[in-house]
Amino acid sequence: MSQPKYVGKMEWPVAVQIGKGLEGAITSETEIGYVDGEKGWLVYRGYNIFELAENSTFEETTYLLLYGKLPTQKELDEFKQKLVSYREIPGEVIDTLRKVPKTTHPMAALETGIGMLGCLDPDADKCTMESETEISFKLIAQMATVAGAIGRLRQGKEPVDPDPTLEHTANYLYMTTGKKPDELMEKVMDVAMILHADHGMNNSTFTTMCIHSTLSDMYSAIVGGIGSLKGPLHGGANEQALAVLLKLKDEEDATRYVKDCIANKKKIMGFGHRVYKAYDPRAKVLGKFSQDVTEKKGMGHLYRIAKRIEDEVIAAYGEKGIFPNVDFYSGTVYYAFGIEPAMFTPIFAVSRISGWCARVLEYFRDNRIFRPRAMYVGPRDLTYVPMDKR
């Protein structure tokens, strides 16, 4: 049977401009937050991130992202209680995590753990606003527990049960290290979690929304988000940035490293951003923490090496809008607190779960499946060649 032939160049109904990497594309309207890349602002629900870093807590900020307003004391207490009630994870999840090879990256283990939570939740496929909201609370609480267990099992240690008397961040640190954190560690890590909780239409957030827009389930969406965050161009940059710092002896070595990257056109991990063309406000806060915490922990050289890299990169690329991003200094802070580098990106996931859930729920209210197109530029008039003629 003869088939119609599509010959000539593909015709598009309107002039099409491709924003490579979806640059310039607007997915939806949102009231959750935004990044002003020119001014270097990050805003959650109308509050500048500096305000929240100074005054809020991770739980309160999570409530703000989900509900669009700061909670009253009663609302916050109830919300915290809900997290306490969901914090423990089923034994089957721990059993599954025990089977993950120790050589597996913790982010892949996190995908597995969250996937298993979904398998065990009878409400996973209900996909109503009510069920997805409740699952969001579970996931916000349990991401920390799963990440904590992964950190322990990797080191051949037994997972630690959550302590209902501890706040969310303190609990996460307790389940990771097996020790209750001191005041400094709890405060600094809580602010770091606030800074990472949401960040405009970033890749992992878009991934979660994209998956959920098919009316798949919340667990699948979050597993996808973890997979996206794992990449070194996204959340995985924090681990890589620290790996570089640990290889450098001193500031002169740092200068040599940057000059080598520039000469060989190699990207420097922890720098640059699609949206920020000014200094990332999160890096401002974390840079200060890095200076204080590394000094206190006798690792001041790490900060000095990092600062030299920052100065050299800004001198070379500042005019192009390349500055440190959130991932440059965060690793130095976590490392100074004794957290192993492979667990840095899971900390990001334990924080970003709040933004992921808030944005999936917001989009779900007026859902439409995401379905972009690509411009086909390949051949169009080929005739099938039988196997013996190829």
Ligand X SMILES: CC(C)(COP(=O)(O)OP(=O)(O)OC[C@H]1O[C@@H](n2cnc3c(N)ncnc32)[C@H](O)[C@@H]1OP(=O)(O)O)[C@@H](O)C(=O)NCCC(=O)NCCS
What are the catalytic residues? 234, 273, 327
The single residue among 322, 333, 347, 358 that binds ligand X, judged by CB under 6 A, is 322
Q: Does 224 bind ligand X (CB under 6 A)?
A: no
Helix extents (H) in the chain:
49-55, 58-67, 73-86, 91-99, 106-120, 129-154, 168-177, 183-196, 203-212, 218-229, 237-247, 251-263, 281-296, 300-317, 326-336, 344-364
Residue nearest to ligand X (CB): 272
For 55-92, b where at least 16 C-beta lie within 10 A, e where not — what string?
Answer: ebbbbbbbbbbbeeebbeeeeeeebbeebbebbebeee
Stretch that binds ligand X, among 61-69, 90-98, 122-130, 318-326 (CB under 6 A): 318-326
d(CA 75, CA 78): 5
43 touches ligand X by CB under 6 A: no
Instruction: Give the x/- contact pattern for ligand X in 225-264, rule: CB under 6 A.
Output: --------xx--x---------------------------
Binding of ligand X by 331 (CB under 6 A): no
Tokens at 55, concatenated: 């005054």
Binding to ligand X by residue 21, rule CB under 6 A?
A: yes
Binding residue (CB under 6 A) for ligand X from 82, 180, 187, 274: 274
Number of residues that bind ligand X (CB under 6 A): 18
Q: How far is the CB of 276 from ligand X (least distance, A)?
A: 8
Residue 299, number of CB atoms within 10 A of its CB: 15
DSSP class of residue 123 equals T
Taking CB under 6 A as the criterion, the residue among 93, 254, 268, 302 binding ligand X is 268
Residue 327 touches ligand X, criterion: CB under 6 A = yes
How far is 221 from 215, CA to CA, in rounded Å?
10
**By the rule CB under 6 A, 200 interacts with ligand X:** no
Contact region with ligand X (CB under 6 A), list: 74-82, 133-141, 325-333, 348-356: 325-333
Contacts to ligand X by CB under 6 A: 21, 233-234, 237, 267-274, 317, 320, 322, 325-327
